[in-house]
Structures are given as C-alpha cells and as structure tokens.
Structure 1
Amino acid sequence: MPRIGKLMDMGDFFAGEINTLSLRLRLKLVPNTERDAGITSDAAPDFLAYSKGVEIGAAWVRTDSDRTGIFAFDYLSLHLDDPFWPASIDAVVFRNRINAFHLDIVWTRRTPAAAGNGSSCPAPRNSTKT
C-alpha cells in the first residue's frame, strides 16, 4: 500500500496534498459540522474533503486494534471522487509515528467485495463473509 500523500494537523482541520503519477491536488479535510450538530445520521462522514473549494469526498473515523488486540488506534477511511477521474480513490489516513502533527495518506485498492456492497472501505483479503 503506497503512501500517496500527506496531511498536517492544523488544529481545526487537516490540510495537505496527494501526489501520484497522474494526480496532484491540494486537499483539506474539515469536520462535518452537520453531523456534530446532530442534523445528519451517525453514518454521515466525520470529515468532508475539499480541493480548490470544491467538495470531492469524505472521511470516516474508524477504530482498530493492533495485532495483539491490546491497543486501539484511530484512523480515517477516506473516499475521494471526481467526474473526470477514471475511478474513485479509497485510502486510509494514519498519524505519522515520528511526528504526531503529520498524517500519511495510504492508497488502498478497492476489492470486488467492497465495490459491490456500497462500502468505501475494502474488506480484508483473508476475511470471510458472514
């Protein structure tokens, strides 16, 4: 899973960029104030993603545990899309382990199972459907 970008924690929002061979854009993640105010459902995104002032996606806070199951950590499940892109971008955003004010954007390939269920989060490769 390659790192395709980085964000910086600006206090009230995250700002940074995505750089790939075919895409270069500035990205800003701002809290979804409608969700915070209870206007939308709990399934609504925690953050809205903007580039050049245009909303291009959203991010949801997820919690996972490490391999031993002792420590829980948060990450963002990021989904970006634009009518001119050949496909949407799904990524996860983690805090950088060296500098807590920096976050890494890591691209994830959408699996056929995730693409068919409407989820923006790909299913783990070794998981089984229940």
Structure 2
Amino acid sequence: MAQIGTFTRAEDGSYTGTIKTLSLNFKARFLPAEPSENEKAPNLRVVVGNVEIGAAWQRTSKDNNTVYHSVKLDDPSFPAPIYANLVAVDDGYALVWSR
C-alpha cells in the first residue's frame, strides 16, 4: 500500500488536502454529496478546483469495525481510474492506494 494523499477534516464533513504520485500533484477536496435515497450513491464528491474527479463511499471494515471511505478517482487525463481508501491516521487522514 502506498500513501498518495494527506487530508484534514473540517467540521462540515469535508476533507482538504493534496494528492501526490509520480505523475500527479494537486490539491483536492472531498465534499459531502447531496443526500440521496439511492443506497449506492456516494457520500463524498472529490473535486479539484471546480472539476469533479471522483467520489467516495463510506464503508466499515469487517476486521475491526473501522469506518473509512472507498474512493474512485477518474479524469480523461488519467490512463486508468485510481482506486484508493481514505483512512484515519494519527495526524489526520491518508489516501492509501494499493494495486
């Protein structure tokens, strides 16, 4: 697993931080999504500037009941979608990617 992002959480439920890889380096925000009756709707929208590049769904791990967000990032400039997890760490939140 590789940490590709570092985020802080605001009181309104949004997350702000930076996503960095060898080819990416940008500030991103995870914003609460509009409430939906669709149980498959995302909980968060991922935006860079005014452009939405992904979404996140709240999940709970089976091992230790830890809450995290399953994230999908995609953009025409990416060779393929990026799948990662937004998890709590000691000093904030980390976006962790694994192949």
For this structure pair, what is the TM-score category when the shorter chain's length is used for normalisation? over 0.9
**Whole-Å separation in 1 of the counterparts to 2:43 and 2:35:** 9
Partner Cα distance (1:108, 1:2) in 2: 6
- The structure with the larger Rg is 1
Aligned length: 98
Cα distance in structure 2, aligned partners of 1:83 and 1:34: 27
- Which is bigger in relative contact order (C-alpha 8 A, separation at least 6)? 2
2:15 aligns with: 14
2:91 counterpart of 1:95: no
Identity of aligned residues (%): 37
Gaps of 5+ in 1: 110-130
Q: Which runs of 5+ in 2 are unaligned?
A: none
User: How far off its partner does 1:25 sit?
Assistant: 1.1
- C-alpha separation between the residues in 1 aligned to 2:93 and 2:19? 12
Residue type at the aligned position of 2:8: M
1:27: which partner in 2?
Answer: 28
Name which of 56, 60, 65 aligns with 2:62.
Answer: 65
CA distance in 1 between counterparts of 2:60 and 2:78 reads 29
- TM-score, normalised on structure 1? 0.71
Which 4+ runs in 1 deviate beyond 4 A?
Answer: none
Partner of 1:118: none
**SS across alignment from 1:65:** coil
Is the partner of 2:35 in helix, strand or coil?
A: helix
Distance in 1 (CA, whole Å) between partners of 2:67 and 2:51 is 26
Q: Which has the larger share of strand? A: 2
* Alpha-carbon separation, structure 1, partners of 2:39 and 2:56: 13
Q: CA RMSD in A?
A: 1.1
**SS in structure 2 opposite 1:85?**
coil
TM value normalised by structure 2: 0.92
Q: Could you tell me which amino acid in structure 1 is paired with residue 3 of structure 2?
A: R
Provide, for residues 57-88 of structure 1, a one-character-per-residue CA deviation record: whole Å limited to 9, x for no partner: 1000000133xxxx311110000000111111
Residue correspondence of structure 1 range 68-83 to structure 2 within 5 A: 71-83=64-76
